[in-house]
Amino acid sequence: MSHQTQDLDQEIMQTLLTHLARFPTKSDELNAQTDLAADMNIDSVNMMELLMEVEDTFDVSFPLNMMANVNTVQDLANQIKQLVENRP
Amino acid sequence: MSISDRFAELAHIRDSLGAVEADPSRIVMEKILSPTEAIIGNRPTILVGTNNYLGLTFDNEVLDAACAAMHEQGSGTTGSRMANGSFAGHASLEHDFAEFYGVPSAMIFSTGYQTNLGLLMGILRPGDKVVLDSHSHACIYDGCRISGADFLAFRHNDPEDLRKRLRRLGGDAEGALVIAEGLYSMLGDIAPLADLCAVAKEYGAWFMVDEAHSFGVYGERGLGLCEEAGILDQVDFITGTFSKSLASLGGFCVSRHPEMQLLRYGSRPYIFTASSSPANIAAADAALRAIRTRPDIKDKLWANANRLYDGLKGLGYELASTVSPVIAVRVPSKEEGARLWNALLDEGVYVNLVLPPAAPDSAALLRCSLSAAHSFEQIDAILAAFKAASAGSDMAAGASAQ
């Protein structure tokens, strides 16, 4: 893995953790393996707000239907990374 | 997740509503007295949460038309239009909508929910792009989701945010679908439709507006906010419902594109469900005639909306938007919202309790929807109930001073 890719991974994860910090979690620690639905109980409106913030931060379009493949924070980070790397 | 887990999840939702005594499913209207009054819990209650904007559910012309249609054509159609054929009433109501809007295409569906589902499932395919207002109704989200299209939200009522998201789509913005509503049902705020339409057209996108809560209420002729915004000749699809101003059950879609009629051959919510009953169609038809010929009904609705809005403002309540037929009182917490909602019921007034996520900012809303059928005396009684319900709370700072 290149340094550039590692930097992007870290930037995406850090951004997500910062945005997610405002929501309460059932477990003590918010991390990459935190389940967005089961551990955080983020409702649909807050999830949409989060995605709009992510879109603005990384200048990408994140279709809501992509959330069907997302369970954990890491899943979300992977989807964003894919969008960033394929950005036109 | 197993079905048992899902039942447990739903039970948790029910129990959490029950814990704050905020379960709307416990409300049973034992007897409907009029468009604005019912017996709830053995007592007469003023209804100000029914979306019965024009109050036509007990209008003599509407009732007579529905009764006559039922006697002449039967109680139901017992199947879909594709399988069983259309009744003359279905076709003539579609003709009336097309004529009223001055467009070549109109289709009716069996409910308002199915109208948006039917349009979106009919026109969208996987890979298509949709940009919708973040406050859109669930049926719009569901229609997008089921269609398989890529859909993303723009910030509520923000044309510049829409522009930003269309720009990000690059070449895909051309041919994308932009969706907004006219009057938003929870906060009672209206969309800047002319600006949103201009942005959509700038990028070569299609523009759809759901006028579920604004048809019959806005516009000189009652066509809705697209008429008021002067964009009837630019908007591509307008949807609406029969279950609010039209005092019935069903929905409509009109379009300036004659091809929209082709959805009859490829919209599953149109094809695979029973068509509207003769009574529903006749009631909607009579209500549509009332909108076209009796503008005084709309005037009375607005007089009522202004009276309640000014009264609640005077009592010190924080209201979610400027005056409209939907007036939402902001309440800081769901517990306080539930307390006030129950206190209003005790005072003989029924409003809608709206909790997060339907209500924004983790707050709650006491949502009032006005009717032309409300009397000024009822509006004043609603205000008195709000004053009594909030006595002793911080909700209405001005209330104690009056």
| C-alpha to C-alpha distance for B168 and B187, rounded to whole angstroms | 29
Tokens of A13: 């994860």
| C-alpha to C-alpha distance for B399 and A6, rounded to whole angstroms | 59
**A47, pLDDT greater than 90:** no
Which residue from A43, A59, A64 is facing B357, i.e. has the nearest CB? A43
Give every CB contact of residue A85 below 8 A, 6+ residues apart in sequence: A8
**A1, pLDDT greater than 60:** no
The pLDDT of residue B401 is 37
The pLDDT of residue B392 is 66
| C-alpha to C-alpha distance for B246 and B93, rounded to whole angstroms | 12
How high is the mean pLDDT in each 10-residue block of chain B (402 residues)?
Answer: 88 86 88 98 96 98 98 97 96 98 98 98 97 96 97 97 97 97 96 98 98 98 98 98 98 98 96 97 98 97 98 96 97 91 96 87 90 98 96 60 37
The pLDDT of residue B398 is 47
CA distance, residue A10 to nearest chain B CA (Å):
23
pLDDT digits (tens, 9 = 90+) for B180-193: 999 999 999 999 99
The pLDDT of residue B360 is 72
Contact by Cβ (8 Å): B180, B238: no
Question: What does DSSP assign to residue A35?
Answer: B
Average of pLDDT values for A28-47? Answer: 83
Contact by Cβ (8 Å): B176, B190: no
Report chain A residues touching chain B, CB-CB < 8 A. 43-46, 48-49, 51-52, 55-56, 59-66, 88
Cis peptide leading into B357, omega within 30 of 0? yes
- B75 or A5: which leads in pLDDT: B75
Overall residue count recorded for chain A in this entry? 88
Tokens of B149: 């299209």
H or E element in which residue A41 lies: none
The pLDDT of residue A41 is 74
Query: Half-sphere exposure of residue A64, counting CA atoms within 13 Å on the CB side?
Result: 25
Chain A residues in contact with B168 (beta carbon < 8 A): 55, 59-61
Which of A22, A35, A41, A45 would you mutate first to test chain B, the one with the most B CBs within 10 A? A45
User: Of A59, A82, A69, A73, nearest to A13 (Cα)?
Assistant: A73
- Is B144–A59 a contact, with Cβ atoms under 8 angstroms apart? no
| Chain B residue nearest residue A44, CA to CA | B357
CA distance, residue B311 to nearest chain A CA (Å):
31
| C-alpha to C-alpha distance for B388 and A41, rounded to whole angstroms | 36
Which residue from B148, B149, B168 is facing A60, i.e. has the nearest CB? B168
Chain A residues in contact with B141 (beta carbon < 8 A): 64
Chain B residues in contact with A88 (beta carbon < 8 A): 170
Residue at B7: amino acid letter: F
Burial of B30 (0-12, 13-18, 19+ CB in 10 A): exposed
Give every CB contact of residue A74 below 8 A, 6+ residues apart in sequence: A13, A32, A33
The pLDDT of residue B242 is 98
SS3 A72: strand
User: Of B257, B245, B247, B271, nearest to B80 (Cα)?
Assistant: B271
